[in-house]
Amino acid sequence: MNRNDELFERAQRTIPAGVNSPVRAFRSVGGTPRFLARGEGPYVWDADGRRYIDYVGSWGPAIVGHAHPEVVRAVQDAARHGLSFGAPTEIEIEMAETLVRRLPSLELVRLVSSGTEATMSALRLARGHTGRPKIVKFEGCYHGHGDSLLVKAGSGALTFGQPSSAGVPPGIANLTIVLPYNDVAAVEAAFRADGDAIACVIVEPIAGNMNMVVPDDGYLAALRAICDRHGAVLIFDEVMTGFRVHPRGVQGLVGVTPDLTTLGKVIGGGMPVGAFGGRREIMAKIAPLGPVYQAGTLSGNPVAVAAGLATLALTEAPGFYERLAAKARALVDGLEAAAKRAGVPFRANAVGGMFGLYFADRVPSTCDAVMACDKERFNRFFHAMLDAGVYLAPSAYEAGFVSAAHGDADIAETVRLAERAFVAAAR
């Protein structure tokens, strides 16, 4: 028995299914999860000392690679002064100023400790601001594990075939209107039927939790117009896409301004940091300024914020996002060519440093189209790549991530190894 097997067996004695987040369990793809011991640049090493080219990147935060010296130094410097105070610190202001400068839609911003906490708080704020109870979300979009949001959710909920969760009271679920992604007519119909009760529309402006699905041209602008017409709040969940696909997020990429934005992942640089912010008029409803309560003992933790600020500073280097996008494009183009040579129906797509892999004849634009992809072929491909030393997300319903640390040689090696993996997938 290798070390990964030993650790998994041990973990299952004290941790549900041996993991602290469902998709890590490998139940969708089968096999034993890799217990990672360290990371450096574009690589991770498991408990058996085996190295992998990593395209998970802690599910997106590792945009500059693992253990970047400047990020590690920032964490060490901050930790020397204390780990947590539960009181205001100057570095919180620096983070808020950085976010407001980089995302013009943010007039005020509050720091929290996770993306889930950010979206839960944004929903409560939208309801408190409008005085309305209902929310609109989209099939396959995952916004964290808040009760209102675990209705036809993406991420692990899709992976395990559970589009909603036990423990969510029907009365809460009934306040969530779930619509198909990329279907403007469905949104218009929902507002015609229930517009006076809808507080907000929350959307992943590029979905990353049903694999990567990009919005159709004009889709996000249409959501903006519908919300304006009915007085609803438009929330962009940029926990995954914020500073990952563009220096100003998807909102900067497409030129659509939401009322509220939720952030996470990259803004923590691998440490637990989230944020939500937006129009001053709405954010002024948050306690202690207003009646919408939100609090957190570790919000704005100085060590975590130091990691995020150092990461964001590195992304401001000239040409950073252009180089990142070129790496991701080289990867997906190379994988498509390799699949074609192997005679396997396969498509791939990339935006910025984020990509999607689809065992299908075309790039999907809806949750149903993603679900129709060949999951069993993905599973065979995943294991062939893992055995060859490439670490991909262990689910056909998750996006992948390239970092600035991935070099041309890493991309070329990945494509070379994929040649054989596609053959294995075809069997």
Residue extents of the structural domains in the chain:
3-67+318-426, 69-315
pLDDT at residue 165 in the model = 67
CA neighbor of 254 nearest in space, from 263, 264, 245: 245
Mean pLDDT of the residues in the chain: 94
Does position 162 have pLDDT exceeding 60, yes or no? Answer: no
Q: What is the pLDDT of residues 201-228, one digit of tens each?
A: 999 999 999 999 999 999 999 999 999 9
Which sequence positions are flagged as catalytic?
142, 237, 265
pLDDT at residue 426 in the model = 84
Stretch among 141-155, 166-180, 291-305 having the lowest mean pLDDT: 141-155
Q: Count the residues in the chain.
A: 427
Does position 48 have pLDDT exceeding 90, yes or no? Answer: yes
Q: Token match 């262990």: residue?
A: 394
CATH of 69-315, one of 3.90.1150.10, 3.40.640.10, 3.30.530.20, 3.40.190.10: 3.40.640.10
Rounded Cα–Cα distance for residues 65 and 53 (Å) = 11
Q: Among residues of the chain, what percentage have pLDDT more than 90?
A: 89
C-alpha to C-alpha distances, 278 to 106, 227, 261, 299, nearest whole angstrom: 4, 15, 6, 18
pLDDT at residue 74 in the model = 98
Does position 289 have pLDDT exceeding 50, yes or no? Answer: yes
pLDDT at residue 425 in the model = 86
Global pTM?
0.95
CA neighbor of 366 nearest in space, from 262, 223, 250, 214: 214
The CATH number of the domain covering residues in 3-67+318-426: 3.90.1150.10
Rounded Cα–Cα distance for residues 42 and 68 (Å) = 10
Pair 36, 49: CB distance under 8 Å:
no
User: How would you write the chain as a 3-class SS string?
Assistant: CCHHHHHHHHHCCCCHHHCCCHHHHCCCCCCCCCCEEEEEECEEEECCCCEEEECCHHHCCCCCCECCHHHHHHHHHHHCCCCCCCCCCHHHHHHHHHHHHHCCCCCEEEEECCHHHHHHHHHHHHHHHHCCCEEEEECCCCCCCCHHHCECCCCHHHHCCCCECCCCCHHHHCCEEEECCCCHHHHHHHHHHHHHHEEEEEECCCECCCCCECCCCCHHHHHHHHHHHHCCEEEEECCCCCCCCCCCHHHHHHCCCCCEEEECHHHHECECCEEEEECHHHHCCECCCCCECCCCCCCCCHHHHHHHHHHHHHHCCCCHHHHHHHHHHHHHHHHHHHHHHHCCCCEEEEECCEEEEECCCCCCCCHHHHHCCCHHHHHHHHHHHHHHCEECCCCCCCCEECCCCCCHHHHHHHHHHHHHHHHHHHC
CA neighbor of 312 nearest in space, from 286, 337, 275: 275
pLDDT at residue 307 in the model = 98
